[in-house]
Amino acid sequence: MMTEIDCVRLQAHTSNIGRYKRLLETELSELERNLIERRLSEERSRLSSLAELRASSRNQSTASFSAPH
């Protein structure tokens, strides 16, 4: 189950990814572009980790409901 904090983190990472993608559409120096591409990669990785954590917690919840009593 996702907590409220997880939902806020999900929203923050999604917003950051959108912002970085918009920045990459602008004119940037090579240094700026590399920095933003690195940040974008980091945000995507964090978002993926959060999604994996969510899926893992769902699987554990489902297993506890389907276990015999």
- Collapse the DSSP code of 65 into the 3-class scheme (helix H, G, I; strand E, B; otherwise coil) and give the result: helix
Question: Which residues fall within 8 angstroms of residue 54, CB to CB, at 6 or more apart?
Answer: 2, 6
- The whole-chain average pLDDT of the chain stands at 87
- Collapse the DSSP code of 55 into the 3-class scheme (helix H, G, I; strand E, B; otherwise coil) and give the result: helix
Region 47-55: what's the mean pLDDT?
Answer: 86
The pTM (predicted TM-score) of the whole model is 0.76
Check: CB of residue 47 under 8 Å from CB of residue 17: yes
> pLDDT grade, residue 8 (50/70/90)?
very high
Higher pLDDT, 64 or 41: 41
Q: What are phi and psi of 27, to 5 degrees?
A: -80, 120
> pLDDT grade, residue 24 (50/70/90)?
very high
